[in-house]
Amino acid sequence: MSSPNPSADFPSFSSPGTDPGSDKELSSTQALWRIARALPLVERSYAIIRFMILRVKLLATMDLMLPAEGPILDVGCGFGLWSAYFSQMQPGRRIIGIDPNAHRISMAQKVAQQLGVQTEFYAEDVRQSAARGPFRAVYLLDVLHHIPSADQISVVSQLTDMLEEGGTLLIKDITTKPWFGLKFTEILDRAMVGMKEELAYRHHNEWSELLREFGYTVRVVRVPDVLPYPHVIIAATKGKRPVAQAASGLN
Ligand SMILES: C[S@@+](CC[C@H](N)C(=O)[O-])C[C@H]1O[C@@H](n2cnc3c(N)ncnc32)[C@H](O)[C@@H]1O
């Protein structure tokens, strides 16, 4: 895999995406439907479930935290749903997705081709990734808890090396409290991955501490849901003093 060139000349887009068919502004919901329609039936059903879990408001929050242009790494991209979403919302982004599941990667490539978005996908485990960066942002959406606890710190270290100074490490994951929220999520995760894989959830304060030790300034928000998912978004800025450091203090 070749390293992306961060100094490439990207146009500066600051407004939401444009529907290539009509030149009209593309809403978040329209962008998601375009992704769903590009997938075969089984994968489309999975995508719609993911869209219902993640919700437009949560995606819009993450969208604002990501840079509007430049190279961005999507770790554990799966079917590339969010690469396709975030690159439709800001076409100046160049999103590189990695995931060890080759079937998901080939689907991600097909969807991206159909939508004409600026993305690349590679079938690889983050722990052996050839990606080097520097990236303006790296994000992991419901991926960190699928990485064994013994490897999580070295993965964070590796991703930190790939980020440019001032770059953003954006994590959407599940926190460990309240316990029934965690149990609810764990049951659904187990239904997806079976009983053998380790599910390595950590409390968001533990993640915040770890990230600070890597020199990040960290902000955390819990994202409420009608279902008991204990969603949390952790936005970490590499090596920069915070404008308003807001560790959540939530338990
Ligand atoms: C719950 S899915 C989330 C997929 C996608 N981020 C999304 O939100 O739809 C977790 C993904 O993490 C990927 N994954 C698990 N271990 C990984 C690793 N070591 N390196 C990269 N990706 C990994 C899985 O293959 C799977 O696609």
Neighbours of 97 (CB within 10 A): 28
Name residue 93's beta-bridge partners. Answer: 70
Q: What is the mean pLDDT of the chain?
A: 90
Best residue among 73, 98, 143 to mutate for probing ligand 1, ranked by most atoms within 8 Å of CB: 143
* Residue 23 located in a structural domain: no
Which has the closest alpha carbon to 247: 231, 235, 230, 229?
Answer: 235
* Residue 245 located in a structural domain: no
Q: How big is the chain, counted in residues?
A: 251
Range of the domain at 126: 30-238
Number of domains in the chain: 1
Above 80 in pLDDT, residue 108? yes
150-188: per-residue pLDDT in tens? 999 999 999 999 999 999 999 999 999 999 999 999 999
Protein residue closest via CA to atom 13 of ligand 1: 76
The ligand 1 atom at the shortest distance from the C-alpha of residue 50 is 9
Determine if ligand 1 sits within 6 Å of the CB of residue 231.
Answer: no
* Residue 36 located in a structural domain: yes
* Residue 246 located in a structural domain: no
Determine if ligand 1 sits within 6 Å of the CB of residue 80.
Answer: no
* Residue 8 located in a structural domain: no
Above 90 in pLDDT, residue 13? no
* Residue 251 located in a structural domain: no
How many A from CA of 126 to the centre of ligand 1? Answer: 10
Q: What is the mean pLDDT of residues 204-227?
A: 96
Per-residue buried b or exposed e for 160-177, using 16+ beta carbons within 10 Å of the residue's own CB: bebbbeebbbbbbbbbbe
Above 80 in pLDDT, residue 144? yes
- Cα separation, 126 vs 130, whole angstroms: 8
Q: Residue 246's pLDDT is what? A: 44
The domain that holds 150 is classified in CATH as 3.40.50.150
Q: Residue 247's pLDDT is what? A: 47
Determine if ligand 1 sits within 6 Å of the CB of residue 151.
Answer: no
* Residue in the block written with tokens 């962008």: 31
Q: pLDDT tier at 10 (50, 70, 90 boundaries)? A: very low
The ligand 1 atom at the shortest distance from the C-alpha of residue 140 is 6
Q: What is the DSSP letter of 162?
A: H
Determine if ligand 1 sits within 6 Å of the CB of residue 100.
Answer: yes
* Residue 18 located in a structural domain: no
* Residue 81 located in a structural domain: yes
Q: Residue 19's pLDDT is what? A: 72
